[in-house]
Amino acid sequence: MIEKDIIGKVIRGIVYERGMGINWRFDKEESRTIAILEANYQENKAVLIINIEARGVVKGFFGRTHVAELSGRIRLHYEWIVDQWNLLKVENLTFKVVKH
């Protein structure tokens, strides 16, 4: 479920080279590993903390592209709407570039 839910979601302001920030959009083609670390449910809401490792293409300065690896924790906010869990919000806790 999480694997599909995060496709197209964006993590903003990830510190990248020379202190510049990037926005990371999860793509269905990228390689990714997800582990649920914590899950809290309250009525029709759920908050999950996951550890995620992702590998994909980053657009750098002057249109250059290269492969980057990112890793860290993300908080996911879900709500139960019409018989399914819907991902409403994605928060960066420690997700960052670890190799480029």
pLDDT in tens, 88-98: 999 999 998 88
Number of domains in the chain: 1
Q: pLDDT for 30-69, tens place per residue?
A: 889 999 999 999 999 999 999 999 998 776 666 677 788 8
Cα separation, 59 vs 66, in Å, equals 7
Report how far apart the first and last C-alpha atoms of the chain are (Å, whole number). 28
pLDDT (mean) for 70-92: 94
Cα separation, 75 vs 56, in Å, equals 20
Cα separation, 63 vs 39, in Å, equals 39
- Please state whether beta strands 45-59 and 31-42 pair in parallel, antiparallel, or not at all (unpaired): antiparallel
* Residue 92: per-residue pLDDT: 93
* Residue 9: per-residue pLDDT: 94
Name the residue range of residue 50's domain.
2-99
pLDDT (mean) for 62-89: 89
* Residue 60: per-residue pLDDT: 63
**Domain at 82, CATH number:** 3.10.450
Cα separation, 14 vs 29, in Å, equals 20
pTM: 0.86
Write the single-letter amino acid at 70: L
